[in-house]
Amino acid sequence: MSALLNPRVWIALALAAALALAGLFLYRAGRAAVQVDWNAQKAVDAEARILADRAREARTAARQAAIDEESRHGQEQIAALETELVDVRSDGEWLRSAIRAAAGRARNLPGAPAAGAGQPGGDAIGVFADLLERADRRAEAVAGYADRLRIAGSVCERSWDAGLRAAAGQPATGAVSGPAQK
């Protein structure tokens, strides 16, 4: 109990309490400074994320615009091809009617074999005319299909290239249009 009356003990306890309080205040001040720095870094990171998102959206929009432009050019090419196919079909009909007329004239020639002379109901000229007509129709259909595939493939390639150019920030080049491109 005599130790409690000693002023050195009280000074030591007061000094320890003062050091503890100073340490607590310094800890809180340091923690507040770290929290301010942390909040500032979070704000910088959020702003960077927003800017990165905007840049990504701009690149995506540019890429999509380039792809849409190439798609529009492809649709124009297909429309031009369809009008060209209408002309080809009319030419094909003219050719088929010419074949039928030539077959009719050939049947009426004096040296032409009569229908059914070799086979019952056989008409060699008529069979040949039908064969030419069917071959012409099928060739027309295959050519139209091949042209559409060619246009679709070239649109796909150009769209891919345009998307890559847009992603790299390069200017888009003019698209080649027209159904006669091979």
User: In this structure, is residue 11 part of a structural domain?
Assistant: yes
User: In this structure, is residue 38 part of a structural domain?
Assistant: yes
Domain limits for position 115: 7-168
User: In this structure, is residue 178 part of a structural domain?
Assistant: no
Residues 57 and 167 sit within 8 Å (Cβ to Cβ):
no
User: In this structure, is residue 173 part of a structural domain?
Assistant: no
Measured CA distances, 94 to 77, 90, 99, 123 (Å) = 26, 6, 9, 22
Share of the chain above pLDDT 90, in %: 26
Task: Tell whether the model's pLDDT for residue 74 goes beyond 80.
Answer: yes
Question: What is the per-residue pLDDT across 18-39, written as a single tens digit (0 to 9) for each?
Answer: 999 998 888 888 888 888 899 9
pLDDT reported for residue 115: 55
Task: Tell whether the model's pLDDT for residue 178 goes beyond 70.
Answer: no
How far is Cα 130 from Cα 115, in angstroms, rounded to an integer?
15
What rounded mean pLDDT belongs to the chain?
82
Q: How confident is the model at residue 140 (pLDDT cuts 50, 70, 90)?
A: confident
Q: What is the pTM of this model?
A: 0.55
User: In this structure, is residue 175 part of a structural domain?
Assistant: no
Determine the average pLDDT of the residues in 102-121: 65
pLDDT reported for residue 179: 45
Q: How confident is the model at residue 49 (pLDDT cuts 50, 70, 90)?
A: very high
User: In this structure, is residue 182 part of a structural domain?
Assistant: no
Q: Pick the more confident residue, 83 or 170.
A: 83
Q: Pick the more confident residue, 13 or 107.
A: 13
Q: How confident is the model at residue 177 (pLDDT cuts 50, 70, 90)?
A: very low
Say how many domains are in the chain.
1
User: In this structure, is residue 180 part of a structural domain?
Assistant: no
Instruction: Give the 3-state secondary structure of the chain.
Output: CCCCCCHHHHHHHHHHHHHHHHHHHHHHHHHHHHHHHHHHHHHHHHHHHHHHHHHHHHHHHHHHHHHHHHHHHHHHHHHHHHHHHHHHHHHHHHHHHHHHHHHHHHHCCCCCCCCCCCCCCCCHHHHHHHHHHHHHHHHHHHHHHHHHHHHHHHHHHHHHHHHHHHHHCCCCCCCCCCCCCC
User: In this structure, is residue 177 part of a structural domain?
Assistant: no
